[in-house]
């Protein structure tokens, strides 16, 4: 393997990083249900003081043909180009506590080298704990709080917060590999998998970002402003509820998900919160079809706001 340090460049500000900080990470790529990780990263960078400590080489790590960057076209010429970014930041929470934040695109290539580079940076700054989040679509109702599955070696977090503990094989995220390597080093690490309603996975679900922030706070003691996201979440769910109330079939399907979720949470011996004894589920297509017009209208409204 080539030198992991060749994947990133440190900025002059790296000398100002104190030892023993928490690292918070979230990468966008294979799965980001409810745009949880995207919202989390944008919210932290929009609301907290931060500075870049290290930048990773996108030309080495990213498949541009699979995830094309955006250029801006103004009638007859290009006005801007937004290159993809993967960077390590030094940020300060609402209580004045500093932490490191790794955010950006999930690498398409050289996972082992990338993982080694992250471990190298963690050792350089003597990072205290590593916490990361991602989100997957699951057949759970939007009327219940978003749950999490917790991985890693922070048993106190797993015992207190992990609502679903399957034995299964899952498609990996690059940060899964980082977590696996950190566990081998006995470094304190926790990964939070947000379980987002599958029929809302393709939209921007503010409560998913709130749950991500709450999970990070539980693992690190960091304090984040969340009121703006909470207000947006209440408005979003109110619109979803309005759609459900006017469609009896949709209400029945959501009700079925509620029953299975509640039975599981009450200790009923179902195999998981996702299926009944026969392993049957309401069709995701059925629910998605009923909500398609609502989501399309919402996206259209957002685009109209951007134009004004």
pLDDT one digit per residue (tens) for the chain, 308 residues:
899 999 999 999 999 999 999 999 999 987 899 999 999 999 999 999 999 999 999 999 999 999 899 999 999 999 999 999 999 999 999 999 999 999 999 999 999 999 999 999 999 999 999 999 999 999 899 999 999 999 999 999 999 999 888 888 888 999 999 999 999 999 999 999 999 998 899 999 999 999 999 999 999 999 999 999 999 999 999 999 998 888 888 888 889 888 888 887 776 443 444 444 444 444 545 455 545 555 555 455 555 544 54
**Cα gap 184→97, rounded to integer Å:** 28
Decide: helix, strand or coil at residue 19: coil
**Cα gap 139→137, rounded to integer Å:** 7
**Cα gap 101→41, rounded to integer Å:** 9
pLDDT (0 to 100) of residue 245: 87
The tokens of 243 are what? 């759609």
């Amino acid at each position: 393997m080539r030198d992991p340090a060749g994947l990133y460049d440190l900025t002059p500000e790296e000398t100002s990083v104190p030892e023993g900080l928490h690292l918070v990470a979230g990468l966008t790529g294979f799965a980001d249900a409810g745009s949880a990780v995207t919202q989390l990263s944008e919210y932290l960078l929009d609301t907290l003081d931060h500075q870049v400590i290290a930048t990773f080489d996108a030309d080495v790590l990213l498949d541009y043909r699979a995830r094309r960057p955006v250029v801006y076209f103004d009638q007859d010429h290009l006005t801007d180009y937004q290159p993809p970014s993967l960077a390590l930041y030094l940020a300060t929470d609402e209580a004045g506590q500093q932490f490191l934040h790794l955010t950006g695109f999930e690498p398409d290539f050289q996972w082992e080298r990338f993982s080694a580079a992250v471990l190298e940076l963690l050792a350089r700054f003597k990072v205290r704990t590593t916490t990361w989040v991602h989100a997957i679509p699951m057949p759970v109702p939007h009327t219940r709080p978003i749950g999490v599955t917790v991985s890693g070696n922070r048993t106190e977090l797993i015992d207190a917060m992990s609502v679903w503990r399957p034995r299964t094989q899952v498609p990996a995220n690059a940060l899964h590999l980082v977590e696996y390597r950190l566990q081998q080093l006995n470094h304190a690490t926790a990964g939070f998998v947000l379980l987002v309603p599958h029929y809302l996975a393709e939209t921007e679900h503010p409560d998913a970002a709130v749950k991500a922030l709450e999970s990070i706070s539980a693992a690190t003691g960091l304090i984040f402003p969340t009121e703006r996201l909470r207000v947006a979440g209440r408005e979003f769910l109110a619109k979803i509820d309005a759609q459900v109330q006017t469609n009896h079939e949709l209400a029945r399907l959501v009700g079925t998900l509620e029953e299975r979720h509640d039975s599981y949470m009450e200790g009923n011996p179902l195999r998981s919160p996702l299926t009944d004894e026969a392993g049957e589920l309401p069709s995701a297509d059925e629910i998605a079809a009923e909500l398609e017009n609502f989501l399309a209208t919402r996206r259209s409204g957002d685009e109209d706001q951007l134009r004004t």
